[in-house]
Amino acid sequence: MSWNFDKPLRSLCDTATNEADKALWEKEDLGGITEDNNRLPMPVVLLVVLTVVTAFSVTFPLWGQRPTAALYEGYVKAMSTPEVMAIQDDKVAMQKIVQMNLGGENDAGLERHPLSMDDLRIIKPQIEALMSKGVDLGEYTVVGDRVVMANFEGNKKADGTPERKQPWWDKGYLIDIFYLSYFFLGVTILIKRLPPSTWQPRHKH
Amino acid sequence: MLKYLLAKNEDIPEGSAAVFFGFSAIIWFVIGTGLGSFNAAKLAFPDFVTGNIYFAFGHMRQVHVLAVIFGWISMAFAMAMMYITPALGNTKLWSEKLGLWNCLFWNLGLTLGLTILWAGITSGREYSDFPWPIDLYLAAFVFIPLGVNVWMTILNRRTQGIYTTNWFFAAATFMVIIVFLVGNLPEFFHLTGLTEAYLTWWFAHNVLGLWITPVAAAIAYYTIPKVTGNPLYSHRIGHLHFWSVVVFYSTPAAHHLMSAPLPEWLKSFASVEGVLILVPAIAFVSNIMLTMQGKWHMFVENIEIRFTITGCLMAIPLNMQGGFQQTRAINWYIHGTGWIVAHAHLALLGFSTFLEAAAVYLGLQTILKRKLYSLTLANMHFWLLLIGFTTYWISMTIAGLIQGAGKIYEVPYIDVVIAEHPYMIARWLGGTMVFTGNVLWLYNMWMTARKGSVVPAGRMPHELAYER
Q: Residues B150, B206: contact at Cβ < 8 Å?
A: no
Q: Check whether B425 has a pLDDT greater than 70.
A: yes
Q: Do B90 and A173 touch (CB under 8 A)?
A: no
- Report d(CA A80, CA A73) in Å as an integer: 12
> B432 and B328, same structural domain?
yes
Residues of B in contact with A40 (CB under 8 A): 234, 236-237, 240
The DSSP string of A33-61 is B-B-BPPPPHHHHHHHHHHHHHHHHHTST
* pLDDT for res A62: 64
Burial of B174 (0-12, 13-18, 19+ CB in 10 A): middle
Cross-strand pairs, A33:
A30
Q: Residue A205: pLDDT band by 50, 70, 90 thresholds?
A: low
Closest CB to B236: pick one of A66, A179, A197.
Answer: A197
pLDDT > 70 in chain A, percent? 97
pTM of the shown model: 0.93
Quick check: B58 pLDDT over 90? yes
Contact B236, A38 (CB under 8 A): yes
Say what the alpha-carbon torsion angle B360, B366, B370, B375 is, to the nearest 10 degrees.
Answer: 50
* Cα separation, B103 vs A91, whole angstroms: 63
Query: Across the interface, do B273 and A176 touch by the CB < 8 Å criterion?
Result: yes
For B239-297, the pLDDT digits (tens) are 999 999 999 999 999 999 988 888 888 999 999 999 999 999 999 999 999 999 999 99
Examine residue B70 and state whether it is found in any structural domain, yes or no: yes
B416 pLDDT above the threshold of 60: yes
In whole angstroms, give the CA distance from residue A64 to residue A164: 17
Mark yes or no for CB contact A39/B273 under 8 Å.
Answer: no
Of A65, A152, A203, the CB nearest to B328: A65
Question: Are B422 and B307 members of one domain?
Answer: yes
Q: Which residues of A touch B260 (CB under 8 A)?
A: none
Contact (CB<8Å) A36/B234:
yes
A27 backbone dihedrals φ, ψ, rounded to 5°: -80, -35
Residues 6+ apart with CB under 8 A from B246: B171, B175, B210
Closest to B236 (Cβ–Cβ): which among A29, A153, A191? A191
- Show residues of chain A in contact with B292, CB under 8 Å: none
pLDDT average, residue stretch A8-26: 92
Query: What's B466's DSSP letter?
Result: P
pLDDT tens by residue, A84-105: 999 999 999 999 999 999 998 8
B194 and B250 both lie in a single domain: yes
Q: With DSSP H G I counted as helix, E B as strand and the rest as coil, what are the percentages for chain A, rounded to 5?
A: 50, 5, 40
Q: What is the pLDDT of residues A115-168, one digit of tens each?
A: 999 999 999 999 999 999 999 999 999 988 999 999 888 899 999 999 999 888
Q: Are residues B321 and B444 in the same domain?
A: yes
Residue contact A151–B225, C-beta within 8 A: no
pLDDT at B67 over 70: yes
Instruction: Mark B100-126 as b/e (b = at least 16 C-beta within 10 Å).
Output: bbbbbbbbebbeebbebbbeeebbebe
The answer on pLDDT for A111 being more than 80 is yes
The per-residue pLDDT of chain A, averaged, comes to 92
Per the DSSP assignment, residues forming a β-bridge with A149 are A140
Which residues on A lie below 8 Å from B282 (Cβ)? Answer: 44, 47-48, 51
Which one of A12, A36, A49 would you mutate to disrupt binding with B, by most B Cβ within 10 Å of its Cβ? Answer: A36
Q: Give A3's pLDDT tier (boundaries 50, 70, 90).
A: confident
CA distance B381 to chain A (A): 28
Please, which residues have CB within 8 angstroms of residue B158's CB and are 6 or more apart in sequence? Answer: B89, B90, B91
Q: Does B461 lie in the same domain as B388?
A: yes
Q: Would you state the pLDDT for residue A9?
A: 85
Work out the average pLDDT over B350-367.
97
Measured between beta carbons, the chain B residues lying within 8 angstroms of A186 are: 243
Residue B20 to residue B99: CA distance in whole angstroms: 9
Instruction: Please indicate whether, in this complex, the C-beta atoms of B273 and A28 are within 8 angstroms of each other.
Output: no
Residue type at A200 in one-letter notation: Q
- Does the distance separating the beta carbons of A183 and B272 come in below 8 Å? no
Looking at the fold, whether B103 and B191 belong to one and the same domain comes out as no
Which pLDDT belongs to residue B198? 96
Per DSSP, B350 falls in state: I
Cα–Cα distances in angstroms (integers) from residue B404 to residues A142, B335, B343, B398, in the given order: 20, 8, 15, 10
| Nearest-angstrom CA–CA distance, B29 and B381 | 13
Asked if A170 contacts A155 with a C-beta cutoff of 8 angstroms, the reply is no
How many interchain CB pairs under 8 A, A with B?
Answer: 173
Burial class (CB in 10 A: 0-12, 13-18, 19+), B417: middle
Instruction: Please provide the distance, in angstroms rounded to a whole number, between the alpha carbons at the two ends of chain B.
Output: 28
Using the beta-carbon criterion (under 8 Å), do B236 and A194 form an inter-chain contact?
A: yes
Above pLDDT 90, what percent of chain B? 93
Check residue A163 and give its pLDDT.
92
Judgement on whether residues B170 and B261 belong to the same structural domain of the protein: yes
Residue B185 and residue B139 in contact, taking contact as beta carbons nearer than 8 Å: no
In angstroms, the CA A154 to CA B273 distance is 20
- Domain boundary (B264, B291, B318) is at B291
The helix-helix angle for B375-408 and B353-368 (nearest 10°) equals 160
Distance (Å, rounded) from C-alpha B408 to C-alpha B416?
12
pLDDT tens per residue, range B34-56: 999 999 999 999 999 999 999 99
**Is the pLDDT assigned to residue A10 strictly greater than 90?**
no
Tell me which chain B residue has its CA closest to the CA of residue A113: B408
Q: Which of B14, B244, B268 has the most A C-beta neighbours within 10 Å, making it the best mutation to test the interface with A?
A: B268
Interface contact flag, B328 A59, Cβ < 8 Å: yes
Point out the domain boundary residue: B269, B291, B313: B291
Total tally of structural domains belonging to chain B: 3
**Contact: A40, B226; criterion CB under 8 Å:** no
Q: Which residue on chain A is closest to B320 by alpha carbon?
A: A51
Report yes or no on B145 lying in a domain: no
Report the C-alpha gap between B301 and B306 in whole angstroms.
Answer: 8
Question: Of the ranges B175-184, B225-234, B328-337, which one carries the lowest mean pLDDT score?
Answer: B328-337
Are the C-beta atoms of residues A143 and B258 closer than 8 Å to each other? no
Q: What share of chain B is helix, strand, coil (3-state, %, to 5)?
A: 80, 0, 20
**Same domain for B423 and B351:** yes
Minimal CA separation from A109 to chain B, in Å? 12
Please indicate whether, in this complex, the C-beta atoms of A30 and B233 are within 8 angstroms of each other.
Answer: no
Q: Which residue in B has a C-alpha nearest to residue A181's C-alpha?
A: B247
Residue A64: pLDDT band (50, 70, 90) is low
**In chain A, which residues have their Cβ closer than 8 Å to the Cβ of B89?**
30-31
B192 and B266 share one domain: yes
**B163:A30 CB<8 A:** yes
Average pLDDT over residues A79-83: 95
- CA B240 from chain centre, in angstroms, equals 22
pLDDT tens for B118-141 read: 999 999 999 999 999 999 999 999
How many residues does this entry show for chain B? 468
Tens digits of residue pLDDT in B368-409? 999 999 999 999 999 999 999 999 999 999 999 999 999 888
Would you say residue B40 lies in a domain?
yes
- What average pLDDT does chain B have? 95
> Do both B283 and B389 map to the same domain?
no
CB contact under 8 A, A33 and B163: yes
Question: Do residues B307 and A55 touch, judged by C-beta distance below 8 A?
Answer: no
Higher pLDDT, A109 or B30: B30
Q: What is the largest CA-CA distance in chain B?
A: 67
CB-nearest to B247 from A31, A154, A183 is A183
Same structural domain for residues B63 and B83?
Answer: yes
B460 within some domain = yes
Nearest-angstrom CA–CA distance, A186 and B383: 43
Residue ending a domain, choose from B235, B259, B291: B291
What residues make up the domain containing B173?
163-291
Contact A35 B88 (CB under 8 A): no
Co-location of B383 and B456 in the same domain: yes
The distance of B119 to chain A (nearest Cα, Å) reads 36
Q: Are B182 and B202 spatial neighbours (Cβ–Cβ below 8 Å)?
A: yes
Residues B138-167: what's their mean pLDDT? 97
Strand A146-149, strand A140-143: pairing: antiparallel
**Of residues A31, A73, A2, the one with CA closest to residue A205:** A31
CA distance A76 to B352: 52
B372 found inside a domain: yes
More confident residue, B460 or B92: B92
d(CA B301, CA B281): 26
